[in-house]
């Protein structure tokens, strides 16, 4: 790129659009980066793979005439920015992520036109795989994949002569019991393997059945490499329990084993590409001659027409960036601090503790109350109240780290005497089996459905400028789906105590 093109009016406007996009999406991509890194899912490579696809498949758009559609592009960009604002003020990652994909198509319409959108529809849609939404949609597969990993690993180890007994997702070895945790289900790697297999199939192969084979191979490798990892960890601990869980120097961590599967897929695709025919001619080639003549005519258009796409983009993005940098939810404090939460409830006496233990995570909410209660009959319970004076990308009431809480949850209500009800879900942790009863409180509104929680937070944010909320969890040890009178009275006592402390009640 020549310096003269950068310092031209078009260059200045293009830089302005990039800067405004960076400001508007700063928090969104910060969250997305943390999601990529924490999940070991390699989805951060998808934008790189997208650029690689555009470079390798230039035949899709070479020779197309650039005819910006300012009207459609501007309207679509406004829709995308509305989704971004709604997602930002309510900390709804799904809306923010959806806005990324909408605005990718909007900017393509705005700066290049409808023909480019049609020609590059699938590569542009491919960018959606870098978001957390695909894994959210496939979240119900996490538990079956965990059990499948445990079952396959057990059969492999037994066939190799190792003594191992499986109980659900637990592998009982002579010196240690290993649990196939959520992070070991293989779901993250499944999405990432498919996402990395798509550019291989798209750029290296040209027959439909070859591409389908590579995609199926990618899917299989994403799952199978997780089986290999569980088997290797079990062998590592077989003779004696080691302090390093994931093998010597952490070699059995997810990234290393995952890359082995990717390497195998690349090798197979490379071998198949030697016999794959050249790509078929596309309509872009057929219009190249006329496109060149039209491009010359287009280039001689008025300056206003050439600057219109960037000006339109800035007119939409500037107020959005200003609003998102100046808007700030007002923190709503508790009516009373957690120090006033009663330690005697319905015959149960409590003591504060620091954490509930896996799979729960402490530190998700800004303010947390965690305690263990017991009555004279030996019935025990643990209580967690997480309060959010305001929500942001680090602290959200509906947090992906608690997705497992909803996977097997069932709605209950009449038996605990609460009109809006609550949900109950079985929990398996280091302290054994237990049952969690939980609900959300959004400024006095008691809810159980995550979508309604998000909607209530959004309305509060837009109407009242607040995003406060809470999650209340009561854990009863053992299978407590049928509550005893003492447990029912304690549960009602906890919800009443939380209502006296949480604002809006």
Say if residue 301's pLDDT is above 60.
no
478 membership: H or E segment, kind and range: none
Instruction: Give me the phi and psi of 59, to 5 degrees please.
Output: -65, -20
Largest CA distance in the chain: 90
**Tokens of residue 121, six digits:** 């529809």
pLDDT of residue 33: 86
Q: Which residues does residue 335 pair with via DSSP β-bridges, in sequence order?
A: none
For range 208-213, the mean pLDDT: 90
**Tokens of residue 430, six digits:** 């280091």
**Tokens of residue 79, six digits:** 């829709």
pLDDT band at 481 (very low <50, low <70, confident <90, very high): low
What is the spatial distance between Cα 22 and Cα 24, in angstroms, rounded to a whole number? 6
**Are the C-beta atoms of 232 and 247 separated by less than 8 Å?**
yes
- Range of lowest pLDDT (97-101, 143-147, 497-501): 143-147
pLDDT band at 289 (very low <50, low <70, confident <90, very high): very low
Say if residue 284's pLDDT is above 80.
no
For range 398-410, the mean pLDDT: 81
Instruction: Give me the phi and psi of 294, to 5 degrees please.
Output: -65, -35
The pLDDT tens digits for 319-330 are 999 999 888 878
329 class by beta-carbon count within 10 Å (0-12 exposed, 13-18 middle, 19+ buried): buried
State the sign of the Cα–Cα–Cα–Cα dihedral 300, 304, 305, 311: positive
- H helical segments located in 177-207: 187-204
What is the spatial distance between Cα 88 and Cα 146, in angstroms, rounded to a whole number? 33
pLDDT of residue 316: 96
Does residue 62 have a cis bond before it (omega within 30 degrees)?
no
**Are the C-beta atoms of 161 and 74 separated by less than 8 Å?**
no
What is the spatial distance between Cα 83 and Cα 77, in angstroms, rounded to a whole number? 10
pLDDT of residue 429: 67
Q: In terms of residues, how long is the chain?
A: 505
What is the spatial distance between Cα 189 and Cα 7, in angstroms, rounded to a whole number? 44
Q: Spell out where 315-468 has E strands.
A: 344-345, 348-352, 367-374, 380-388, 410-412, 422-429, 432-442, 445-447
Which of 311, 284, 318, 321 is closest to 68 using CA atoms?
311
Q: Which residues does residue 476 pair with via DSSP β-bridges, in sequence order?
A: 381, 435
The pLDDT tens digits for 48-60 are 989 999 998 888 8
The pLDDT tens digits for 216-225 are 999 898 888 8
Residue 92 or 290, more confident: 92
Give the relative orientation of helices 187-204 and 208-238 as an angle to the nearest 10 degrees: 150
pLDDT band at 24 (very low <50, low <70, confident <90, very high): very high
What is the spatial distance between Cα 408 and Cα 140, in angstroms, rounded to a whole number? 9
325: left (phi over 0), alpha (psi -120 to 50) or beta: alpha
The pLDDT tens digits for 71-84 are 999 999 999 999 99
Q: Which residues does residue 429 pair with via DSSP β-bridges, in sequence order?
A: 432
pLDDT of residue 105: 97
DSSP 152: H
**Are the C-beta atoms of 388 and 470 separated by less than 8 Å?**
yes
For range 342-359, the mean pLDDT: 89
Average pLDDT, the chain: 84
The pLDDT tens digits for 445-467 are 999 888 899 889 888 888 888 88
pLDDT of residue 287: 46
């Amino acid at each position: 790129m020549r310096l003269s093109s950068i310092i031209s009016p078009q260059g200045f406007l293009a830089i302005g659009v990039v800067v405004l996009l960076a400001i508007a999406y700063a928090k969104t991509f910060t969250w997305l980066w943390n999601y990529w890194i924490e999940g070991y899912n390699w989805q951060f490579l998808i934008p790189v793979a997208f650029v690689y696809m555009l470079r390798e498949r230039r035949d899709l758009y070479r020779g197309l005439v650039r005819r910006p559609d300012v009207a459609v592009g501007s309207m679509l960009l406004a829709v995308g920015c509305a989704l971004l604002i709604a997602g930002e003020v309510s900390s709804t990652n799904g809306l923010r992520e959806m806005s990324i994909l909408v605005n990718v198509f909007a900017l393509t319409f705005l700066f290049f036109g409808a023909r480019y959108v049609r020609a590059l529809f699938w590569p542009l849609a491919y960018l959606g795989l870098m978001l957390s939404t695909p894994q959210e949609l496939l979240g119900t597969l996490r538990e079956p994949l965990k059990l499948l990993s445990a079952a396959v690993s057990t059969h492999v180890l037994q066939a190799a002569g190792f003594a191992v007994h499986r109980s659900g997702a637990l592998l009982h070895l002579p010196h240690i019991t290993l649990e196939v945790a959520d992070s070991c289900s293989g779901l993250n790697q499944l999405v990432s393997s498919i996402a990395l297999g798509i550019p291989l199939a798209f750029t290296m192969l040209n027959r439909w059945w070859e591409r389908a084979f590579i995609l199926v191979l990618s899917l299989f490798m994403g799952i199978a490499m997780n089986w290999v990892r569980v088997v290797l960890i079990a062998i590592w601990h077989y003779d004696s329990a080691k302090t390093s869980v994931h093998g010597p120097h952490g070699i059995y961590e997810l990234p290393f084993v995952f890359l082995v599967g990717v390497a195998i897929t690349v090798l197979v695709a490379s071998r198949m590409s030697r016999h794959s025919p050249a790509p078929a001619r596309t309509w872009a080639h057929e219009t190249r001659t006329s496109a060149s003549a039209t491009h010359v005519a287009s280039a001689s258009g008025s300056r206003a027409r050439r600057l219109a796409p960037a000006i339109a983009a800035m007119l939409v993005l500037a107020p959005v960036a200003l609003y998102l940098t100046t808007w700030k939810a007002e923190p709503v404090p508790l009516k009373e601090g957690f120090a006033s939460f009663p330690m005697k409830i319905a015959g149960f006496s409590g003591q504060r503790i620091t954490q509930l233990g896996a799979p729960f995570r402490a530190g998700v909410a800004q303010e947390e109350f965690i305690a263990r209660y017991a009555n004279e009959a030996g019935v025990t319970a643990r209580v967690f109240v997480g309060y959010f004076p305001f929500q942001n990308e680090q602290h959200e009431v509906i947090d992906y780290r608690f997705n497992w809480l909803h996977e097997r949850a069932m709605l209950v209500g009449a038996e605990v005497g609460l009109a809006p009800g609550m949900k109950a879900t079985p929990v398996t942790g280091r302290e054994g089996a237990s049952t969690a009863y939980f609900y959300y409180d959004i400024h006095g509104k008691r809810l159980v459905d995550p979508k309604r929680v998000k909607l209530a937070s959004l309305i509060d944010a837009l109407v009242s400028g607040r995003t406060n909320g809470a999650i209340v969890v009561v854990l009863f040890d053992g299978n407590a789906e049928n509550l005893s009178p003492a447990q029912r009275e304690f549960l009602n006592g906890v919800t009443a105590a939380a209502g006296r402390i949480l604002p809006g009640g």
